[in-house]
């Protein structure tokens, strides 16, 4: 049986085709988010099918997840990103007991119980300070791309103190720090620490090792280290961090009785 998962995130749409008999990912892909979410998701889905030499009727179930999940009418059902990331990470790393996910506009911490089910979770409220949006804003302010940002963060020796309460105020703080002549690597490392501290406040009671880090922000190498320092425990980057939500959605489609056709 072949199932599909589509993760409609704030910055990108991710899709995974999964073969439940062979227990493997047949195809995965990513498209930038835009206005016509459903059409973008459908185009991405069709391109994956083409890569895997499949047709739509071959797919027995489609689950949509992510903040735009309700916009995907061709999906059979929706499952929240919390359940999906837990499922996806657990499938890739069955020793995982906690998941930290940082995406474009969300950060969440999920505690897992045996079997990879969600035991408890916490999610950011109205503030983007602990999310990828904050990093994007900083990259834009410092006029550099994502890779350069990661590289600089690693060079920081004395991370600057930056507010973790409000992304907008943090930006004005950064302008102030630059005006005072603070070294750029220290500013970037400070931003990463601010995000990590924010996520650590969410984590609190939920975190038990091994901790896996997923979501688009996990691709930024300095972030896992910043989290390790603040949480004082090892943090491993999940395999395929951008796709754990879509993979979890595909696994959910496989587990949904109504789609087992």
Assigned token pair, 186 = 């220290």
Told to check if 120 binds another protein by CB under 8 A, we report yes
Gap between the Cα atoms of 87 and 91, Å rounded:
6
Q: How far is the CB of 126 from another protein (least distance, A)?
A: 5
Q: With residue 176 as reference, give the H or E element that holds it.
A: helix 167-179
Q: Kindly tell me which of 206 and 230 has the beta carbon lying closer to another protein.
A: 206
Nearest by Cα to 1 from 52, 40, 58, 43: 58
Strands 235-237 and 211-214: parallel
Residues 34-73 that bind another protein (CB under 8 A): 67
From candidates 56, 117, 154, 158, binder to another protein by CB under 8 A: 117
Q: How far is the CB of 99 from another protein (least distance, A)?
A: 12
Give the per-residue contact string, 66-105, with another protein (x = CB under 8 A; - = no): -x-----------xxxxx----------------------
Q: Which stretch binds another protein (CB under 8 A): 36-44, 118-126, 145-153, 169-177?
A: 118-126
End-to-end alpha-carbon separation of the chain, Å? Answer: 8
Gap between the Cα atoms of 38 and 204, Å rounded:
36
Contact yes or no for 174/191 (Cβ under 8 A): yes
Told to check if 260 binds another protein by CB under 8 A, we report no
Q: Kindly tell me which of 22 and 126 has the beta carbon lying closer to another protein.
A: 126
Residues in touch with another protein (CB under 8 A): 67, 79-83, 117-121, 123, 125-126
């Amino acid at each position: 049986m072949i199932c599909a998962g589509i993760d409609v995130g704030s910055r990108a749409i991710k899709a995974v085709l999964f073969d439940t008999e062979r227990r493997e990912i047949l195809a995965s892909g990513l498209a930038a988010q835009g206005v016509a979410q459903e059409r973008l998701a459908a185009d991405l889905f069709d391109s994956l099918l083409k890569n895997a030499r499949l047709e739509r009727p071959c797919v027995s179930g489609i689950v949509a997840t992510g903040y735009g999940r309700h916009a995907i009418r061709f999906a059979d059902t929706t499952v929240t990103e919390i359940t999906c990331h837990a499922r996806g990470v657990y499938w890739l790393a069955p020793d995982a007991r906690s998941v930290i996910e940082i995406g474009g506009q969300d950060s969440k911490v999920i505690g897992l119980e045996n079997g990879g089910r969600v035991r408890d979770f916490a999610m950011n409220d109205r503030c983007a300070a602990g999310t990828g949006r904050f990093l994007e804003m900083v990259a834009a302010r410092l006029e550099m791309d994502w890779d350069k940002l990661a590289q600089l963060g690693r060079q920081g020796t004395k991370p600057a103190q930056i507010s973790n309460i409000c992304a907008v105020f943090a930006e004005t703080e950064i302008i102030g720090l630059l005006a005072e002549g603070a070294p750029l690597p220290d500013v970037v490392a400070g931003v990463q620490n601010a995000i990590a501290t924010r996520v650590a406040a969410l984590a609190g009671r939920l975190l038990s090792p091994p901790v896996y880090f997923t979501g688009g922000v996990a691709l930024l190498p300095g972030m896992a280290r910043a989290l390790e320092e603040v949480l004082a425990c090892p943090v491993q980057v999940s395999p395929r961090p951008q796709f754990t939500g879509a993979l979890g959605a595909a696994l959910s489609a496989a587990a949904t009785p109504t789609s087992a056709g």
